[in-house]
Amino acid sequence: QVELVESGGGSVQAGGSLRLSCAASGASPSTYCMGWFRQAPGKEREGVATIDSLGRTSHADPVKGRFTISEDTSRNTLDLQMNNLRPEDAAIYYCAASFGFRALTNCAPTAPQTDFGVWGRGTQVTFSS
């Protein structure tokens, strides 16, 4: 069974950068979609960025040009480089995974979150003045 553990969250100032990492452990199929999601206080959880096992990436409009999703298959990690952070980026960030053929056909931040069967516990990003 796959387990996901996020790290890298913290407190930043507007315009700053953070790099989130998601460590995956356990046996996993070779066909997958992995993504970063976030949930701000009082708001619904939303997709941020996804990457599939073919290396195709997709980023949500609010983060395009500022965030970059990537994976390191040698270390089994999924990363999210976040630059030019804004106060509205403050949230708990979650890593999630979807497996199988369907994972490739609908791998995007807008994909139904119910497609993602494995979730991490999250890492928090906050802003300091």
Report whether pLDDT(109) > 80. Answer: yes
Q: What is the mean pLDDT of residues 94-121?
A: 93
Query: Which contacts qualify for 83-90: CB closer than 8 Å, 24 or more apart?
Result: 83/17, 84/15, 84/17, 85/12, 85/14, 85/15, 85/16, 85/17, 85/18, 85/125, 85/127, 86/14, 87/14, 87/127, 88/40, 88/62, 89/38, 89/63, 89/125, 90/40, 90/125, 90/126, 90/127
Per the CB < 8 A criterion, the answer to whether 96 and 115 are in contact is no
Backbone angles phi, psi at 44, to 5 degrees: -75, 155
Provide the β-strand partners of residue 81.
19, 68
| The one-letter amino acid at 76 | N
Note the pLDDT tens digit of each residue in 72-96: 988 889 999 999 999 999 999 999 9
Which pLDDT does position 1 carry in this prediction? 84
Largest CA distance in the chain: 45
pLDDT band of 101, cuts 50, 70, 90: confident
Work out the percent of the chain whose per-residue pLDDT is above 70.
Answer: 100
Kindly report which listed range (4-8, 26-30, 46-50, 54-58) carries the lowest average pLDDT score.
26-30
Q: Which residue has better confidence, 61 or 73?
A: 61
Per the CB < 8 A criterion, the answer to whether 113 and 40 are in contact is no
Which pLDDT does position 80 carry in this prediction? 98
Report whether pLDDT(36) > 80. Answer: yes
